Amino acid sequence: MNYVDPEKKQLEEAAQKIWDLAISMGLDPFPTHFEIVPASIMYEFGAYGIPGRFSHWTHGKAYHRLRTMYDYGLSKIYELVINNNPSYAFLLEGNSILQNKLVMAHVLAHSDFFKHNVYFEHTNRQMVDGASINADRIRKYEYLHGKAEVEAYLDAVLAIQEHIDPNLRIKKKTKNGSQPTQARTPGPYDDLLTDAELHPRQEEHPRRFPPEPEKDLLLFIAENAAGLKDWQRDVIHIVRNEMLYFLPQMQTKIMNEGWASYWHARILRQLDLTEDEYIHFAELHASVVSPSKTQVNPYYIGMKMFEDIEKRWDNPTEEEKQRYGRKGGEGRQKIFEVREVENDVSFIRTYLTKDLVRELDLYIYEAQGDELKVVETDWEKIRDTLVASMTNFGNPYIVVEDADYRRNRELYLKHQYEGIELDIDYAEKTLPYVYKLWGRTVHIETVVDNEKVVITYDGEKVTHKKESSGPPSLAQNSVTNN
């Protein structure tokens, strides 16, 4: 007897209907495969970010936390979709049919975003396989070198995993613009030339390594740390590789969720829902896009912004018609263009308007004593605070300033201070991990209370030093700069 799960059959039909609707409305997702999974699997994938990813206790911790929150009814993951071709999406077993319909519509919009947004262009579309291969390699290293050693090494790499550079494809301008002098081609009359003419004095380059500050800490260490074994370099490349894959998702959280919420609402309104289903849908949609007093809900802000853009390009003001030549009725076209070329930073900077900030009632708050209080409602300041919080994916911008500091191959990192201080306690604890990777003394320069501070770890203890002016790395190099 061939048993057909009635729920599965119903969902299959719904999936096809939703797919057809999405296509007819202009979305162009990757082929998408839905898998119905129990909660334990849903939370595992949520914790690991991608199925089959390598084992590490931090993943176990994340899994435990998500799982506990689910078990106590505090939070629920409704949807999970993997940027992959085909896209894989997971539906939670036991969700109502309507919940899963909403999830499917939402997921297809995400997949469309993955496929078309320019920041995803270079992501590995076979990452599900890639992550499994990476996991196999790490398992092999565990077998060869011992679990404890691999874990301790992974700890060190993961501690600085955010510090990579997704823009390596953009060629860098060199600061002094000097080109290496070409070697002279020997000629027949060389004996007539003086020695100085024969060997023009090459302008001495400052002995700097790296020549320009390097943002990609992981790559720099993998390529330049002296004492690393092959497997250790490989582990760095694995982590960096996966981080590069995840970065665009961190870079487009508001847009991506906004886009998906915008579309799930429109697709579901086109489905033939019963009255009960429609009420259920309205409730669900409202809970997804509910504002939060102390956070920015990306689903809500993102959706509102797309709707606002569509409205403004559909019905431009007289001024917009004359100054920008907007014809009106171009709303849909415009939002498709926005989803293709922007990321969260440019999206907020370009499309979060004064009216929208007021309509959404956004504000800046801070802790005052035991209370969180609104301190600012000026729309430009709000916009700029949002942009600042998303710059470099919310992480401090840290570069390798000098990898031969004190002519002793010590690693000198610099925090590009832009007004927000580092968590010094954390920085002190992170340095030993960097030391483990680099193998020699490591420093980080930052600013505390408007004074330059250098924190150093030499393999035994952490020390602080306040310095008055000028990066010491430059002072070092100026000696050789004649």
Partner 1 sequence: MAFTVSLSKNDWSLHRKGPADQARHAEKVKEAIKGNLSNIISQEAIITSDGNKIVKVPIRSLELPRFRYDFRKKNQVGQGEGESKPGDVVGQGKPGQGQGRQAGDQPGIDYFEAEITVEELANLLFEDLGLPNLEQKQSAEIEGAGIKFNDIHKVGIMGNLDKKRTILENIKRNALANHMPVFRQVKQEDLRFRTWNPDVKRDTNAVVIAMRDVSASMGEFEKYITRSFYFWMVRFLRRKYNDVKIVFITHHTEAKEVDEETFFKLGESGGTKVSSAYKLALEIIEKRYDPQSWNIYPFHFSDGDNWGDGDNKLCVELVNKLISVANVFGYGEIQESRHSSPSTLMSAFLTIQNPRFISVTIAEKADVYPALRKFFTTREAAAA
Task: List the interface residues with partner 1, window 256-315 (CB under 8 A).
Answer: 291-298, 300-301
User: Do you find a cis peptide bond into 316, omega within 30 degrees of 0?
Assistant: no
Residue 441 beta carbon to partner 1: minimum distance, rounded to whole angstroms: 17
Task: Find the binding residues for partner 1 in span 312-351 (CB under 8 A).
Answer: none
Torsion-angle region of residue 198: left (phi > 0), alpha (psi -120 to 50) or beta?
alpha
| Helix-helix angle 253-270:331-341, to 10 degrees | 140
Measured from the CB atom, is 314 or 421 closer to partner 1?
421
Contact with partner 1 (CB under 8 A): which of 94, 365, 406, 467? 365
If the CB atoms of residues 151 and 212 are measured against partner 1, the closer one turns out to be: 151
Residue 139 touching partner 1 (CB under 8 A)? no
* CA angle centred on 111, ends 341 and 86, rounded to 5°: 125
Name the burial class of residue 458, with classes exposed (0-12), middle (13-18) and buried (19+) by CB atoms within 10 angstroms of its CB.
middle
Instruction: Residue 411: name the closest of 153, 160, 234, 155 by CA.
Output: 160
Long-range pairs of 363-368 with CB within 8 A, sequence gap ≥ 24: 365/294
CA distance 254 to 152: 35
Binding window for partner 1 (CB under 8 A); candidates: 50-58, 117-125, 223-231, 281-289: 50-58
Residues, the chain = 482
Report the distance separating Cα 144 and Cα 166, nearest Å: 32
3-class secondary-structure state, position 50: coil
User: From the CB of residue 169, how many other CB atoms can be counted at a distance below 10 Å?
Assistant: 8
Least separation in angstroms between CB 420 and partner 1:
5
Q: What is the CA radius of gyration of the chain?
A: 27
* Contact pick of 77, 424, 447, 462 for partner 1 (by CB under 8 A): 424
Stretch that binds partner 1, among 37-45, 178-186, 189-197, 278-286 (CB under 8 A): 37-45
Out of 128, 238, 267, 444, the only residue in the binding site for partner 1 (CB under 8 A) is 444
Binding residue for partner 1 (CB under 8 A) from 24, 28, 38, 311? Answer: 38
Asked whether position 130 contacts partner 1 by CB under 8 A, the answer is no
We find the least distance from the C-beta atom of residue 33 to partner 1, in angstroms, to be 5
Judge whether 123 and 244 are in contact, CB under 8 Å. Answer: yes
CB of 461 to partner 1, least distance (A): 16
**Distance (Å, rounded) from C-alpha 14 to C-alpha 107?**
13
Residues contacting residue 306 through CB under 8 Å, at least 6 positions apart:
258, 259, 262, 335, 338, 339
State the CB neighbour count (10 A cutoff) for residue 366: 10
Residue 459 sits in the site that holds partner 1 (CB under 8 A)? no
Of the residues 374, 474, 475, 479, which one makes contact with partner 1 according to CB under 8 A:
374
**Which one of 426, 464, 465, 479 is in contact with partner 1 (CB under 8 A)?**
426
Least distance from partner 1 to the Cβ atom of residue 31, Å: 5
- Shortest Å, Cβ 468 to partner 1: 23
Residue 2 found at the interface with partner 1 (CB under 8 A) = no
What's the farthest any 2 CA atoms get from each other in the chain? 99
Rounded to the nearest whole angstrom, what is the least distance from the CB of residue 238 to partner 1 in the complex? 16
49 binds partner 1 (CB under 8 A): yes
**Should residue 158 be labelled a site residue for partner 1 when binding is judged by CB under 8 A?**
yes
Nearer to partner 1 (CB atom), residue 333 or residue 377: 377
Is 198 an interacting residue with respect to partner 1 (CB under 8 A)? no
List, in order, residues 6 or more apart from 280 with CB less than 8 Å away.
96, 98
Smallest CA-to-CA distance from 242 within 88, 383, 56 is with 56
33 contacts partner 1 (rule: CB under 8 A): yes
Looking at the Cβ atoms of 45 and 313, the one nearer to partner 1 is 45
Q: Give the C-alpha separation, 336 to 340, whole Å.
A: 6
In this chain, which stretch among 165-173, 260-268, 270-278, 418-426 interacts with partner 1, using CB under 8 A? 418-426
The mark string for 6-25 relative to partner 1 (x by CB under 8 A, - otherwise) is --x--xx--xx-xx------
- How many angstroms separate the CA atoms of 186 and 207, rounded? 28
Q: What are phi and psi of 370, to 5 degrees?
A: -95, 0
Among 278, 336, 363, 379, indicate the residue that binds partner 1 (CB under 8 A).
363
Examine residue 370 and tell whether it contacts partner 1 (CB under 8 A). Answer: yes
Q: Which of 129, 197, 223, 376 binds partner 1 (CB under 8 A)?
A: 376
Instruction: Give the one residue of 24, 28, 60, 211 binding partner 1; rule: CB under 8 A.
Output: 60
Smallest separation, CB 428 to partner 1 (Å): 8
